[in-house]
Structure 1
Amino acid sequence: NLDAKNMFFFYATGVTPAMTMKMVGEGSQYAGAFVDAKGNPLDGSKTYRLHMPPNIPAKDFWSFTLYDNQTRSMLQTDQQSPAVGSLTKGLLVNADGSVDVYFGPKAPSEKESNWVQTIPGKGWNTLLRLYGPLEPWFNRTWRPGEIEPM
């Protein structure tokens, strides 16, 4: 736990009990991604897709935010915010309740609401944030998909 807390403090410059404790339906939980499904660093020149299975275990809301590998700050792009999530206006939800999220320099056609812009030549990473995380997150019966190059 000490290593995890140190890593998160370096990454986010802060740790609160709500980030680290199991509190079903309260607080928040985070999962970071730094490589794609093949183990390669996330590349701002490429386009990726991540499939979120149905019944995303967040009572309040969920989101992905992109960060610059060099500065640890949010990725600076033409978008107002380098994020997408359940509160995103116009988010496309599949018929089964799953959601596909896209990351890349240009939005896939007709998927703009589910897309976060990246910058060619710049590495990035992302956090999946679950606010009000539910039991399937803690018991690992629900898991997000991998970040797949398209």
Structure 2
Amino acid sequence: RFHMYATGITPAMVNPTVGSGTQYIAGLRDSDGNPFDGAKTYKVHLPPNVPANQFWAFTLYNVQTRSMLQTDQRFPEITSADASIEQNTDGSYDVYFGPEAPAGKEKNWVQTIPGKGWHMLFRLYGPEQAWFDKTWRPSEVELVK
């Protein structure tokens, strides 16, 4: 199944090694079980202490082409490696996906396109133990409007 997203796989992508490699979650539907709609806005909450000793990222893909979603943004992605992303006071993050950024959330937003289906990959680079023992997990993707 992973070949849906990748044209090649290395051991670092699929072996569960604490502190190195990469771990992935595919997001295909919202918390109500509906496919993502490019005309709607969604939110995911990342609790404090995201277990990535390098960084984390969400990347959006077109459901028909498997390519990154083409938008007005340079990349259809948000990552903790970007110094402009805004962290909540408790160390958590709220990330938004939709055709327009919610007011005041522009730095934590990835654009979607009305009429285009999309799905996402959430990646942890250098995943830490809390990821593997499941003591940390992101929220479900909630429909905002």
Using structure 1 for the length normalisation, give the TM-score: 0.94
2:137 is aligned to: 143
Deviation at 1:10, TM superposition (A): 2.6
Matched residue count:
144
Deviation at 1:94, TM superposition (A): 0.5
1:20-39 alignment runs, 5 A limit? 20-39=14-33
Post-superposition Cα deviations, 1:13-33, rounded to whole Å, max 9, x if no partner, equal 221111111111101111000
1:50-129 alignment runs, 5 A limit? 50-129=44-123
**Cα distance in 1 for residues equivalent to 2:106 and 2:28:** 23
Contact 1:49–1:149 (CA under 8 A) maintained in structure 2:
yes
**Cα distance in 2 for residues equivalent to 1:9 and 1:67:** 14
Post-superposition Cα deviations, 1:111-146, rounded to whole Å, max 9, x if no partner, equal 111000000011100000100000011111100111
**Cα distance in 2 for residues equivalent to 1:124 and 1:100:** 19
4+ residue stretches of structure 1 with deviation over 3 A? none
Contact 1:63–1:128 (CA under 8 A) maintained in structure 2:
yes
Using structure 2 for the length normalisation, give the TM-score: 0.97
Contact 2:99–2:114 (CA under 8 A) maintained in structure 1:
yes
Contact 1:104–1:119 (CA under 8 A) maintained in structure 2:
yes
Contact 2:4–2:66 (CA under 8 A) maintained in structure 1:
no
Contact 1:88–1:113 (CA under 8 A) maintained in structure 2:
no
From 125, 128, 136, the counterpart of 1:131:
125
1:45 is aligned to: 39
Identity of aligned residues (%): 60
The one-letter code of the counterpart of 1:69 is: V
Alpha-carbon RMSD across the aligned residues, in angstroms, is 0.7
Contact 1:47–1:105 (CA under 8 A) maintained in structure 2:
yes
Deviation at 1:110, TM superposition (A): 1.1
Structure 2 segments unaligned to the other structure (5+ residues): none
